[in-house]
């Protein structure tokens, strides 16, 4: 009988607040902050410090390919959110319901930037494939692809009410695109290095872009298409305005205006954000006048000093009245964070009283911070850091009951609830490399990089004692079990790279200032080794201790009571990083930096099998209790499940985005927990679903074949030529889904054709008096042939329809076009039929022109479609006009006193911000003094 196993599947992941691959932004309401968390998007309530909702893609693909690289939210009244991923896909989410509305495939590599147009109906995306794609958010389909950049697109922004698009790239150029005519209007150069970000102020007056150059470049934006201003060429949209020297030397990472346009934030690739104050036209003109007056005084003084000199210099004429970039933008603050800043986002909501704006930061140490910016300083008001580690997770340990999880990193120990992912305690500590729970679950032990052994009180969340146990890094802490396999107070063993294996016992001591006794440890024995100890483990019956050494790559097994050598296991070509002994004491498995697992017999030390397990170093390995099933993790991001008796790979679990450092298995084997370099902790649960070994092998072969099929075009096709300047292409791309959809349409056409022939044959027999009872095809589910084909075509996602039709052979395309006339008479299918007809005519234009049998079909479709599309257009136009009329009636009848409250509130806040400006306050005081002095002179 074939043996069945139980499947393990991903359950929850926690510990990530904000991953460093994507940008943060606010949701459409402006109340919550969106932060990418590896393949998920977390919505944070900054005041409460809690994640209120999480968006995660439901797919079986590898999670590291779905890492969120860009996030955008619509500024329109809709609740749409877009996320770009590392595999080039874009997902549209409904923020209120938390559901994925559509998946858009078009980019061939990671999406780097997303931006909604002001109306929220279009979405522009840029990627590492150098392309920009415009998507119809409502229709959930790609419109067109813009080509022209020679390197990764780094940022983009809509201007002119969404009619034009400005993009920047690492190729050092800005491009202005006209979205109505779909061509490039202007190419702007001048930068000496890669351009990383740009933005436009809310009023659409200025565009600013930043690179690794020491200055920010500003441009004027043409306000109207027909504007013929002075020094403007006919087709130019951007005109240089000036430059401002930046404060820092690092390259620019992000540039953003706040919602009112009064502040500009320049985040550099470091720890600082430079905040500039944006003055309005009146203030800018006043500042320009003061600058010119100062120049006049300087020139008059210079003229007086040269009056007696025969060789006096010629004084330049007084400069004309012209507002420069320095008159509009001035440095307000330089905000310094504790760690490197990944991205920034201004809150779109009105700022609190006596402040200008609130700015949120995501840091590369897994933190979110929010600062309140006023005229005098920038102060931190919120910080989210508790639900995650600041650095790599080096060890994870479960207590025997499986209801507490302990994890260590470079400066903290955290206690988690593994069922919910909730952080219960955060305890400051040294750099913990290993950990273990003390029997009773009241205390825990942490071994640090400095060699100290820390005793942690789990209940109070404090470190009660630090013992200088070793002079080197402590690599392993293993409790000593009883003979029956249970862990009691027998003590524990530590191994470090100071060549010592030390045995410890627990004891309770009375410390001064404490009423009750507290735990302490005492070293009772020491085993000297010839080399650094990399790993160690104790057999479940407490009989043996196995020690892995660094220099000779050996594993030495000693008797625990006498410390005499029992076995020496040699065979690995690189150091052994991890090992474990089965519950029955029969097997010991070792994992090494040579990427292999070795299974040994513990009775004679004979090697049973060598398995090439991972594509990189094996970092941890654990037996499931009371079985010979083994879990292993490695630097290749994979968790693998093995049968140590049959030496077969059972499952491969994908999910982590970086190297996996540690692993722990529950005492019942119902779940495992892994910790990774990506700062995430993931729990994998055993399900009741059985699987068979042969089925899993076939599935892995199919996945391997499909991955090779995806890369076949890139592998054997000649490299693509450089696209033409400002060329336009199709938005979508060929995927497995489009190929499957094409096959489904072809099958539906063949089934419908056979059914049509059967119906005609039945009718012929009935005319001849030989007809019987007609038995329809059960696969068509009671639908007619036309309805069955329409159902198959309608099930194709809107974004994939173009690529699906592109893969359809010409003969099948003719069959599909024969149904279009009948479908066009259905009121709700006019748009779909029009898209199908237009796509097929564009794809097969030459073949249709050369096929005589297709001409009558095209003529019929032409007459039918024109009238149907016209009727549909008239209906939509009538409905829109009626809605506008109803809206006007409601506005006229409305007596709501707060109809314009939002606009008035913005005006009041703008006035308050002007009054809060210290420079304006001093100017008003000076004018007041001058006025009072003039009045006193007149009275005198």
Helical spans, DSSP H, in 663-718: 693-710, 712-716
Confidence of residue 828 (pLDDT cuts 50, 70, 90): confident
Q: How far apart are CA 667 and CA 669, in angstroms?
A: 6
Is it the case that residue 8 has pLDDT exceeding 90? yes
pLDDT of residue 283: 84
Which has more confidence, 726 or 449? 449
pTM: 0.83
Q: What is the mean pLDDT of residues 804-811?
A: 89
pLDDT of residue 224: 65
Task: Output the six-digit token pair for 178.
Answer: 């006209």
| Cβ contacts of 497 within 8 Å, gap of 6 or more | 472, 473, 475, 532, 533, 534, 550
Helix H or strand E segment including 346 = strand 341-346
Alpha-carbon separation of residue 351 from 31, 262, 346 (angstroms): 12, 12, 10
Helical spans, DSSP H, in 768-853: 785-794, 801-806, 810-817, 820-824, 830-843, 845-850
| pLDDT tens digits for range 834-886 | 888 888 888 888 888 888 888 888 888 887 888 888 888 899 899 999 998 99
Query: In 10 A of CB 507, how many CB atoms?
Result: 12
For 83-111, give one letter per residue: b (16+ CB within 10 A) or e. bbbbbbbbbbbebeeeebebbbbbbeebb
Give the CB-side neighbour count of residue 786, counting CA atoms within 13 A.
12
Beta-sheet strand order (sheet of 395-398): 395-398, 405-408, 412-417, 422-428
Is it the case that residue 490 has pLDDT exceeding 80? yes
pLDDT of residue 719: 43
Among 164-178, 227-241, 749-763, 825-839, whose mean pLDDT is lowest?
227-241
pLDDT of residue 611: 95
| pLDDT tens digits for range 209-264 | 999 999 999 999 987 654 455 667 777 889 999 999 998 889 999 999 998 899 99
Alpha-carbon separation of residue 301 from 306, 430, 659 (angstroms): 9, 65, 69
Helix crossing, 830-843 with 785-794: angle to 10°?
80
Q: What is the mean pLDDT of residues 394-417?
A: 94
| pLDDT tens digits for range 307-366 | 544 444 444 554 556 788 888 999 999 999 999 999 999 999 887 777 889 999 999 999
Q: How many residues belong to the chain?
A: 940
pLDDT of residue 673: 96
Helix H or strand E segment including 432 = strand 432-437
Q: What is the mean pLDDT of residues 367-390?
A: 92
Is it the case that residue 484 has pLDDT exceeding 80? no
Confidence of residue 407 (pLDDT cuts 50, 70, 90): very high
What percent of the chain stands above pLDDT 90? 53
Mean pLDDT of the chain: 86
Which has more confidence, 628 or 57? 628
| pLDDT tens digits for range 116-172 | 998 888 999 999 999 999 999 988 888 899 999 999 999 999 998 889 999 999 999
| pLDDT tens digits for range 514-569 | 777 888 999 999 999 999 999 999 999 889 999 999 988 899 999 999 999 999 99
Is it the case that residue 895 has pLDDT exceeding 60? no
Task: Output the six-digit token pair for 142.
Answer: 């790609």
């Amino acid at each position: 009988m074939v043996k069945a196993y139980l499947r393990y599947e991903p359950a929850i992941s926690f510990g990530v607040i904000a991953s460093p691959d994507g940008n943060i932004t606010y949701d459409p309401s402006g109340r919550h902050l969106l932060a990418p968390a590896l393949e998920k998007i977390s919505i944070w309530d900054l005041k409460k410090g809690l994640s209120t909702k999480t968006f995660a893609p439901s797919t079986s693909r590898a999670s590291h390919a779905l890492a969120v690289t860009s996030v955008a939210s619509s500024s329109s009244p809709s609740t749409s959110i877009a996320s770009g991923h590392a595999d080039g896909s874009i997902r549209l989410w409904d923020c209120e319901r938390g559901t994925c509305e559509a998946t858009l495939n078009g980019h061939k590599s990671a999406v780097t930037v997303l931006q909604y147009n002001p109306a929220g109906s279009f979405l522009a995306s840029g990627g590492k494939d150098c392309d920009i794609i415009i998507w119809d958010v409502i229709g959930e389909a790609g419109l067109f692809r813009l080509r022209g950049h020679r390197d990764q697109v780094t940022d983009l922004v809509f201007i002119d009410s969404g009619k034009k698009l400005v993009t920047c790239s690492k190729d050092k150029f800005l491009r202005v695109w006209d979205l109505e005519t779909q061509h490039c209007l202007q190419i702007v150069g001048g930068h000496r290095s890669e351009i990383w970000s740009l933005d436009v102020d809310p009023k659409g007056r200025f565009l600013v872009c930043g690179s690794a150059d020491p200055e920010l470049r500003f441009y004027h934006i043409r306000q109207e298409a027909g504007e013929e201003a002075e020094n403007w060429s006919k087709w130019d949209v951007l005109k240089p305005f000036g430059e401002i020297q930046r404060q820092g030397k690092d390259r620019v990472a992000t540039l953003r205006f706040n919602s009112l346009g009064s502040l500009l934030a320049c985040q550099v690739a470091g720890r600082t954000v430079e905040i500039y104050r944006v003055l309005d036209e009146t203030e800018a003109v006043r500042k320009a006048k003061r600058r010119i007056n100062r120049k006049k005084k300087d020139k008059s003084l210079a003229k007086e000093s040269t009056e007696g000199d025969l060789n006096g210099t010629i004084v330049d004429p007084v400069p004309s009245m012209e507002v420069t970039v320095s008159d509009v933008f001035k440095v307000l603050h330089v905000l310094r964070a504790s760690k490197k800043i990944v991205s920034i986002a201004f809150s779109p909501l009105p700022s609190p009283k006596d402040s200008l704006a609130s700015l949120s930061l995501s840091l590369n140490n897994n933190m979110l911070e929010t600062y309140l910016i006023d005229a005098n300083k920038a102060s931190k008001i919120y910080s989210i850091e508790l639900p995650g580690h600041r650095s790599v997770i080096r060890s994870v340990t479960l207590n025997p009951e499986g209801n507490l999880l302990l994890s260590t990193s470079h400066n903290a120990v955290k206690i988690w609830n593994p069922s919910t992912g909730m952080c219960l305690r955060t305890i400051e500590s040294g750099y913990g490399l290993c950990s273990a729970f003390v029997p009773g679950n009241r205390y825990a032990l942490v071994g640090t990089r400095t060699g100290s052994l820390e005793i942690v009180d789990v209940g109070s969340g404090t470190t009660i004692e630090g013992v200088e146990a070793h002079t080197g890094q402590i690599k392993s802490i293993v409790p000593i079990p009883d003979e029956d396999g249970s862990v009691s107070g027998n003590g524990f063993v530590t191994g470090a790279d100071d060549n010592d294996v030390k045995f410890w016992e627990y004891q309770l001591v009375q410390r001064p200032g404490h009423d009750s006794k507290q735990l302490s440890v005492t070293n009772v024995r020491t085993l000297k080794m010839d080399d650094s100890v990399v790993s160690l483990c104790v057999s479940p019956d407490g009989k043996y201790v196995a020690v892995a050494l660094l220099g000779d790559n050996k594993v030495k097994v000693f008797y625990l009571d006498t410390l005499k050598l029992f076995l020496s296991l040699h065979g690995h070509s690189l150091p052994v990083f991890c090992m474990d002994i089965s519950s029955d004491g029969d097997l010991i498995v070792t994992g090494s930096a040579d990427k292999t697992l070795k299974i040994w017999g513990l009775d004679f030390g004979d090697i049973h099998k060598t398995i090439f397990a991972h594509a990189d170093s094996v970092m941890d390995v654990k037996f499931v209790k009371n079985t010979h099933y083994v879990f292993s993790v490695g630097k290749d991001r994979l968790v693998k499940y093995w049968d140590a008796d049959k030496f077969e790979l059972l499952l491969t679990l994908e999910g982590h985005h970086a190297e996996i450092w540690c692993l722990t298995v529950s005492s019942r084997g119902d779940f495992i927990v892994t910790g990774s370099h990506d700062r995430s902790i993931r729990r994998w649960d055993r399900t009741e679903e059985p699987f068979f070994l042969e089925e899993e092998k076939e599935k892995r072969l199919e996945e391997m074949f499909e991955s090779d099929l995806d890369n076949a075009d890139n592998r054997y096709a000649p490299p693509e030529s450089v696209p033409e300047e400002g060329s336009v292409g199709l938005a979508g791309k060929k995927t497995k889904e489009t190929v499957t959809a094409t096959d489904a349409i072809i099958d539906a056409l063949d089934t419908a054709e056979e059914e049509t022939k059967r119906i005609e044959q039945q009718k012929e027999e009935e005319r001849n008096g030989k007809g019987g009872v007609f038995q329809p095809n059960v696969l068509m589910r009671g639908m007619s042939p036309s309805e069955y084909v329409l159902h198959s075509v309608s099930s194709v996602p809107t974004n994939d329809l173009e690529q699906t039709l592109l893969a359809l052979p010409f003969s099948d395309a003719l069959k599909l076009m024969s149904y279009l006339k009948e479908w066009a008479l259905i009121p709700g299918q006019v748009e779909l039929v029009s898209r199908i007809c237009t796509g097929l005519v564009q794809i097969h234009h030459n073949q249709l022109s050369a096929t005589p049998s297709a001409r009558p079909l095209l003529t019929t479709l032409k007459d039918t479609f024109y009238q149907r599309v016209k009727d549909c257009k008239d209906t939509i136009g009538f409905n829109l006009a009626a809605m506008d009329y109803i809206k006007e009636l409601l506005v006229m009848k409305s007596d709501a006193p707060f109809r314009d409250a939002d606009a008035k509130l913005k005006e009041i806040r703008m006035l308050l911000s002007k009054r809060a400006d210290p420079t304006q306050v001093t100017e008003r005081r000076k004018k007041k003094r001058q006025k009072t002095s003039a009045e006193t002179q007149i009275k005198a």
